[in-house]
Amino acid sequence: MPRHRSEPSRAPRSSRSIAAGITTAIILLAVAGLPSRAAAAAPARPNVLFIAIDDLRVEIGCYGASHVTTPHIDRLAASGMRFDRAYVQAAFCNPSRASFLTGLRPDRTGVLDNTTWFRSRLPDVVTLPQLFKESGYQTVRLGKIYHGEKSMEDPKAWDAALYPKGTERGGRGEGRNLTGGEVPWCRWMAAEGGDEDQPDGQIAREAVAFLSKRPQKPFFLAVGFHKPHDPFVAPAGYFEHYPLDELKLHRDPPDRAADVPFAIPPRGWKTAFDKFSDRERREFLRAYYACTTFVDAQVGKVLRALEDFGLAGSTIVVLLSDHGYHLGERGWWNKNTLFELTARSPLIVRAPAMRAKGQGCSRLVEFVDIYPTLADLCGLPPPAGLPGRSFGPLLDDPAQRWKDGAFTQLVRGRVAGRTVRTERWRCTEWDEGRQGVELYDHEADSGEYSNLAEDPKHADVLAKLRAQLRRAFQPEPAKVRQDAGE
C-alpha cells in the first residue's frame, strides 16, 4: 500500500452506529435552539474552536517535516498563522495545561507535577474557558483539556463535557510492549476497527455533531485529542503510512557534550530506553507517527465541519500541543526536559479578521500569551495580573519586534530547572546553577549539543541570560514530587 494515503481509515457502519449512541443529552441541551445559517455565521462575538493535542512535537508537515503525513493541520496553517517559536511553560501534561488554561506560570499555579489539581492551590482563579462562560459563551469540552478526568476537571468552566472511552473492538489488534513490560505505557497497537472505535475518533464525531446544530450563542468549543500520547494505539490503516524499514533513526553526534546531571530524568525509564534495539526504535517511531496521522485526520473532520455548517468565517481556531517530545534524541523517548524538543510546541492560530493569513511567525511567543490573546480577539476583559501578552498584533504583522525571552520550568525532586529561550540562545540553570548550567547557540547548534556555559568567550552572554532568568522567576518554585511523565 502506498505510504501516503489520501483517505483516513473509517469505521464500519456497525461501529459508527454503536458509537453514535454515545452523543449525550447534555450536549444536545447545550445546543438547543437552532438558528438560521445566517445567524450562526455572524454572531455578535467570534466563536472559539480550541484544539489541544497531547505530546505532539513540531515534526509535522507545516513545520517542514515532509516525511510525516498531516495534511489537515497543514491546511489550517496555510489559512492561519504558524508560530515557529512558541514555547510552553512546562514540558509535561498537568503543569503545562494548568499554566495555559489559567494564564499563569507554573511557579504561580503551584502545579509542577501530574497529581496536583490547580484549584487545590488557586481555588478562585478564573480559567480561560471560565472567562468565556461567565461572559455569556456556551462552553463545551470534549476529551482531554485539563489533565485528568473528573477528579481534576473544572465544573466552573463548562456548560457540558464529555470524555469518550472508545470501544472494545478498538482495544484489540496487533502490537506489543517495547520494553518487555518494564515500562507499562511503552507499547503500540495497530488496532482493529476504524476511527470511531478510538476515543479520539469519538471526540471528533461529537465535535462535528455539536457544530452541526449551528449553536445560537457564541461558543467556546474545546476539543482535546489524546494521540500521539502513549500508549501508541491507532487504527491499523494509519500504520501503513510508515513502512518500518523506511524509517530513519536519529543519531546524536558522537562528539556532543555530556548532559548535566538533571537534564534527562536520571532514573527509571532511561534504563529501559537504553536497551532498545534499532527495530524497537523504529517500531516506536512508526507508532508515534501513525498516531500523529490519525489525530490529524480527526482534526480534519472538525475543521471540515466548520466549513460545512457555515461557521468558519466567524470562528477563531487555536491548535496547539501541550509540549513537545523526544524521539530518541539524547537517548530519551518522552517529554519532561528543558531542551528545545519539549519546550517548543506547535501553535497555529486562525482568526477571521487577521491580515497575515498563511504566514509563519518567528517571534517568541509563550503559551501564557494564549489566554490574553483570545480575550483580546473576543473583546473580553482578562483577569488582572496575567503575565502573558496578547499576540493579536502578530496576526497582522508577524515581523514586528516582540518578546525578548520565553521561559520554561520543571522540578526533579527538590531540584528546580529553569530555562530561557531568546531568538538566538537557550540558557538553562539547575538549582540556580548549583547543579549545572547550560548555554546553547541556536545559530550554530540547533540540536543543543554543544554546551557553551564554560566557554569564556560567551561569559557576557551567559551572565546576561542568567540575570534574565533571575528576573523572570520567584526565588524558589514549590518543592513537589514530579513524575517523569503522565
Which secondary structure element, helix H or strand E, spans residue 81, and what is its range?
A: strand 81-87
| Strands of 406-412's sheet in order across | 406-412, 415-421, 425-430, 437-441
Lowest mean pLDDT among 73-87, 90-104, 271-285, 469-483: 469-483
Query: Computed from CA positions of residues 370, 376, 379, 381, in that sequence, does the dihedral angle turn out positive or negative?
Result: positive
Q: What is the distance in angstroms between the CA of the first residue and the CA of the last residue of the chain?
A: 34
Q: Where are the beta strands (DSSP E) in 166-261?
A: 173-177, 187-191, 219-225, 232-235
**Which residues make Cβ contacts (< 8 Å) with residue 129, sequence separation at least 6?**
50, 101, 139, 141, 145, 154, 157, 158, 220, 222
Radius of gyration of the chain (CA): 22
CATH class in words for 13-404: alpha beta
Give the span between the Cα atoms of 359 and 144, in whole angstroms: 29
For residue 268, pLDDT over 90 is answered with no
Which of these, 429, 432, 211, 207, lies nearest to 307 by C-alpha position? 211
Cell of 206: 461529537
- pLDDT per residue as tens digits for the range 317-356: 999 999 999 999 999 999 999 999 999 999 999 999 999 9
Grid look-up 498537568 returns 94
Give the span between the Cα atoms of 150 and 120, in whole angstroms: 14
- Looking at per-residue pLDDT, the higher value among 420 and 485 belongs to 420
Q: From the candidates 93, 186, 291, 427, which is the catalytic residue?
A: 93
Q: From the candidates 62, 72, 147, 241, which is the catalytic residue?
A: 147
Instruction: Give exposure, 465-483, as e/b (b: 16+ Cβ within 10 Å).
Output: bbebbeebbeeebbeeebe
Active site residue 147: yes
Give the span between the Cα atoms of 231 and 188, in whole angstroms: 6
Q: Per-residue pLDDT averaged across 225-253, rounded?
A: 98
Instruction: Give exposure, 120-134, as e/b (b: 16+ Cβ within 10 Å).
Output: eebeebbbbbbbbbe
Give the span between the Cα atoms of 458 and 275, in whole angstroms: 37
Active site residue 93: yes
Lowest mean pLDDT among 9-23, 178-192, 209-223, 285-299: 9-23
pLDDT at 147: 86
Q: What string of DSSP letters covers 18-38?
A: HHHTT--HHHHHHT-S---HH
> pLDDT confidence of 51, banded at 50, 70, 90?
very high
What average pLDDT does the chain have?
A: 90
Strands 437-441 and 415-421 turn out to be unpaired
**255 CB burial (10 A radius; 0-12, 13-18, 19+):** exposed
Work out the angle at residue 417's Cα, subtended by the Cα atoms of residues 92 and 386, and round it to the nearest 5 degrees. 70
Which of these, 338, 337, 339, 361, lies nearest to 349 by C-alpha position? 361
> pLDDT confidence of 151, banded at 50, 70, 90?
low
For residue 470, pLDDT over 50 is answered with yes
Q: Are 325 and 342 in contact (CB under 8 A)?
A: yes
Give the span between the Cα atoms of 203 and 225, in whole angstroms: 7
pLDDT at 266: 76
Which of these, 460, 477, 386, 449, lies nearest to 127 by C-alpha position? 386
Is this structure's pTM higher than 0.85?
Answer: yes
pLDDT at 475: 56
| Residues 30/313/62/57 CA torsion (nearest 10 deg) | -20
% of the chain residues with pLDDT over 70: 88
- pLDDT per residue as tens digits for the range 397-456: 999 999 999 999 999 999 999 999 999 999 999 999 999 999 999 999 999 999 999 999
